[in-house]
Amino acid sequence: MKKALWPRIVGFGVGGVALLGILVVGVFIYQAISVASNLLAAKDEISAVADEASNGDPEAVLASAEDIREMVSDANDKVSSPLWSAASNVPIVGENVNAVRLATQATHTVIDGALEPGVKILNSLDLSSTDVEGGGIDLAPLRDAQEDLPEISAAIEKANETIGGIDRSKVLPVVDDALGSLTDAIEVAGPGLEIAQEYLPQLLDIAGADEPRRYMLVFQNNAEIRSGGGLPAATAIVDVEDGKAKMADQTSTYSFDRFTKVFHPEPEMDQLYVEDTFTGFGNFTRTPDFPTTAQSFDQLWFNKTGERLDGVITIDPVVLSYMLEATGPVISSDGVELTSDNAVETLLYDAYHMYTGKQQDEFFGDVAAKVFEKISDGDWDPLEMVDQLVRAADEERLHAWFPDEDEQGMVEELELEGSLATDNEEVTEVGLFVNDYSASKLEYFLDTAVSLTCNVEAGTMTTSIDVTNSVPEGGMTKYQLGIRNDRYGIPSDSFILDVMYFAPPGSMISLDDELPPVWERTPEQIALADSLGADPVADVEWERRTGVEYGRNVEVNRYFVPRGETKTISYTSTIPEGELGPANLRYSPTVTDTETHVGESCASVFSER
């Protein structure tokens, strides 16, 4: 070979390799763009599937599913090629290439394993309004879903293992952001599917799939505040069979014996409550522990009928207003229209100007029946209803109890049980609850705010509640005003509240030697109290009650809050020992929203959420 030819051959070889490298890079970039395009398009298609399903369009769902499968399969074929495998080993760049490759493969795993059974479930459920026609749902698709959910869960689990091999600390921010969207979706879907798979049998049982069920639906009246929300004003007895529900009976406080004790707490709990707490229909919600309330109603029903309930569910007028957001307005038997905007005011204020005595409970029950009928006619969006019920549950306005252990386990998993926490592992629960003692409907105008501060050096925590009486001057009916206020010689528009402080598990309450007077009375008021046989001192300077409820130390004090005033009530207790979950402030759900605040002084005490 001639010497002059060698450099040219070498040059051509180097140039050829460089050209080949450029072509390879070009192909890779083209494939990368194609992969990104397909995944983004698939993401948009996936978003459309839920809308198509909720609109009851199974053909559109199937078409979208096929498009998604093709896009993701094409992307997966590209990233599974030798070219991508080789690029994954290139220093620095390789980490990002590998991340995209694994993320695409994980997406393909989900689509390949979960899309078909998922579409089958969506189409069989047909989330259009026809599912609730006649007061129930077709349970056949839910029974079928039990067979498909394990396949979907397996795909999610396999995808999670795939993306678990990505070292996100070594990838570019733009790649990491995309990975975050995928991992977040899988992290949310995984536990949700596990819960659905585990508890679908219980949901079918609750829906009466195998045998009829009977439930009590309790409506609480927040205008007469209770620890659990409000005075139980009425109940509906609902029978459910094979997914169909019908109202079997309506009851009120006048339907039951009011003098037989239906729940017998331990003495250290019993001493926290006034004597009629577990005898009268309207007082079972004085405890903030909903399972105790529910079991009291179950026993009350048993005493009356000899039958046990299959469950107890409670809501309040605020929840009814949320439900009307989904169903639209209802009209009562006597022509009163209730909407999501006016339901609370109509039920908890206007009703006492329109009706008297038993008529008020009858109106409340009638509205409940009309809402039930509205739900039964099926002319509403189920997804919107789910959103509204989740909102109610987040505000502690919706609770459920079932005597069946597995069904109650599901309720606890969904955090609908409303029970008092007995340890500090998941959360450190601090409770400040209020019970009306004036026998009024004044708490329609009650505003509360709850706060928590910590003194780490002293090892104590202080929980405070601001109670504001916003009752207007004049315009209140006799039934709304405080029935018991006269015996104390105080104005009938003043709150009389029993405030209950529940220290966290393992916390000891600091008890001061003296309690400050809670009310300053004029000589005329004292004379009025004397004329009614009230003790002018003992009835005013309330002697504290202390005790223990389900392992929690509790202190109860009675306070009078005049119209137009705010009273701040504080309790101090020790910071529990050991690891503490995030601080959770529980309180009585009022007509209005309750503000909560955990001070920065507690940052080093509790785990972050």
Taking 60 as the threshold, does the pLDDT of residue 5 lie above it? Answer: no
Residue 250 and residue 137 in one domain: no
Q: Worst-scoring range by mean pLDDT, 28-42, 185-199, 293-307, 430-444?
A: 28-42
pLDDT band per the 50, 70, 90 thresholds, residue 360: confident
**Residue 609 falls inside a structural domain:** no
> Alpha-carbon distance 490 to 223, whole Å?
20
pLDDT band per the 50, 70, 90 thresholds, residue 541: very low
**Residue 413 falls inside a structural domain:** no
Give the torsion through C-alpha atoms of 36, 39, 40, 42, to 10 deg. Answer: 160
Distances (CA, A) of 300 to 224, 235, 264, 306, 454: 21, 12, 13, 10, 42
Short-list 461, 465, 462, 463, CA closest to 434: 465
Short-list 105, 114, 93, 70, CA closest to 179: 105
pLDDT band per the 50, 70, 90 thresholds, residue 320: very high
Residue 245 and residue 278 in one domain: yes
> Alpha-carbon distance 492 to 484, whole Å?
8
Residues 6 or more apart from 152 whose CB is under 8 A from it? 113, 114, 117, 118, 193
> Alpha-carbon distance 354 to 57, whole Å?
46
**Residue 7 falls inside a structural domain:** no
Query: What CATH number should be reported for the domain holding residue 549?
Result: 2.60.40
Pairing of strands 428-436, 583-587: parallel
Hey, which of 51-55, 366-370, 553-557 has the most confident mean pLDDT? Answer: 553-557
pLDDT at position 17, please?
A: 39
Short-list 257, 250, 247, CA closest to 281: 257
Total domain count for the chain?
Answer: 3
Hey, which of 70-79, 172-181, 428-437 has the most confident mean pLDDT? Answer: 428-437
Q: What is the mean pLDDT of residues 92-98?
A: 66
Residues 6 or more apart from 590 whose CB is under 8 A from it? 222, 225, 443, 446, 447, 448
The residue type found at 81 is S
> Alpha-carbon distance 131 to 121, whole Å?
14
Residue 184 and residue 259 in one domain: no
Taking 80 as the threshold, does the pLDDT of residue 299 lie above it? Answer: yes
Q: What is the mean pLDDT of residues 345-359?
A: 90
Mean pLDDT of the chain, nearest integer: 80
Taking 50 as the threshold, does the pLDDT of residue 537 lie above it? Answer: no
Residues 6 or more apart from 363 whose CB is under 8 A from it? 332, 334, 336, 347, 351, 354, 355
Short-list 393, 407, 45, 347, CA closest to 213: 407
For the chain, state the CA radius of gyration: 31
Q: Worst-scoring range by mean pLDDT, 334-348, 484-498, 503-517?
A: 503-517
Half-sphere exposure of 12 (CA within 13 A, CB side): 4
**Residue 582 falls inside a structural domain:** yes
Q: What is the mean pLDDT of residues 496-520?
A: 80
Percent of the chain with pLDDT over 90: 48
> Alpha-carbon distance 123 to 109, whole Å?
21
Hey, which of 73-87, 247-261, 295-309, 499-513 has the most confident mean pLDDT? Answer: 295-309
Residue 276 and residue 189 in one domain: no
The residue among 178, 206, 234 that closes a domain is 206
pLDDT at position 317, please?
A: 94
pLDDT at position 31, please?
A: 45
Taking 50 as the threshold, does the pLDDT of residue 170 lie above it? Answer: yes
Residue 282 and residue 397 in one domain: yes
Taking 50 as the threshold, does the pLDDT of residue 29 lie above it? Answer: no
CB 338 within 8 A of CB 317: no
The residue type found at 117 is P
CB 542 within 8 A of CB 557: yes
pLDDT at position 408, please?
A: 95
Residue 106 and residue 86 in one domain: yes
Query: What CATH number should be reported for the domain holding residue 293?
Result: 3.40.630
What's the CA angle centered on 136, arms 133 and 142, to 5 degrees? Answer: 115
Q: Worst-scoring range by mean pLDDT, 459-463, 485-489, 560-564?
A: 485-489
The residue type found at 227 is S
Residue 261 and residue 196 in one domain: no
Residue 100 and residue 174 in one domain: yes
| Interval 401-414: pLDDT, tens | 999 999 999 999 88
Residue 281 and residue 368 in one domain: yes
Distances (CA, A) of 441 to 370, 466, 564: 23, 19, 16
| Interval 244-297: pLDDT, tens | 888 899 888 778 888 899 999 999 999 999 999 999 889 999 999 999 999 999
DSSP three-state, residue 197: helix
Residue 48 and residue 167 in one domain: yes
| Interval 15-26: pLDDT, tens | 443 443 444 444
pLDDT at position 7, please?
A: 43
Distances (CA, A) of 413 to 218, 314, 388, 409, 578: 22, 18, 19, 6, 24
pLDDT at position 468, please?
A: 98
The residue type found at 362 is E
At 9, phi and psi to the nearest 5?
-65, -45
**Residue 414 falls inside a structural domain:** no
Residues 6 or more apart from 444 whose CB is under 8 A from it? 222, 223, 348, 349, 480, 591
Q: Where does residue 160 rank: exposed (0-12), middle (13-18), buried (19+ CB within 10 A)?
A: middle
The residue among 206, 240, 259 that closes a domain is 206
DSSP three-state, residue 286: helix
> Alpha-carbon distance 358 to 253, whole Å?
10
Taking 60 as the threshold, does the pLDDT of residue 528 lie above it? Answer: yes
Short-list 339, 504, 328, 316, CA closest to 393: 316
User: What token pair was written down for 447?
Assistant: 């505003």
**Residue 152 falls inside a structural domain:** yes
pLDDT at position 185, please?
A: 59
**Residue 412 falls inside a structural domain:** no
Residues 6 or more apart from 25 whose CB is under 8 A from it? none
Residue 345 and residue 439 in one domain: no
Angle at which helices 358-377 and 317-327 cross, to 10°: 30
Residues 6 or more apart from 19 whose CB is under 8 A from it? none
Residue 354 and residue 323 in one domain: yes
Short-list 111, 110, 118, CA closest to 141: 118
> Alpha-carbon distance 142 to 120, whole Å?
11
Residues 6 or more apart from 322 whose CB is under 8 A from it? 340, 388, 389, 391, 392
Taking 80 as the threshold, does the pLDDT of residue 123 lie above it? Answer: no
DSSP three-state, residue 360: helix
Q: Other C-beta atoms within 10 Å of 454: how many? A: 21
User: What token pair was written down for 580?
Assistant: 């503490």
Residue 384 sits in which domain range? 213-407
Short-list 97, 114, 94, 107, CA closest to 41: 107
pLDDT at position 258, please?
A: 86
Taking 70 as the threshold, does the pLDDT of residue 364 lie above it? Answer: yes
The residue among 385, 407, 429 that closes a domain is 407
pTM of structure: 0.79
pLDDT at position 233, please?
A: 82
Taking 90 as the threshold, does the pLDDT of residue 520 lie above it? Answer: no
User: What token pair was written down for 367?
Assistant: 């509205």
Q: What is the mean pLDDT of residues 395-424?
A: 95
**Residue 330 falls inside a structural domain:** yes
The residue type found at 240 is V
| Interval 548-598: pLDDT, tens | 999 999 999 989 999 999 999 999 999 999 999 999 999 999 999 999 999
Write the DSSP assignment of 452-492 as a string of letters. Answer: EEEETTTTEEEEEEEEEE---SS---TTTS-SSHHHHT--T
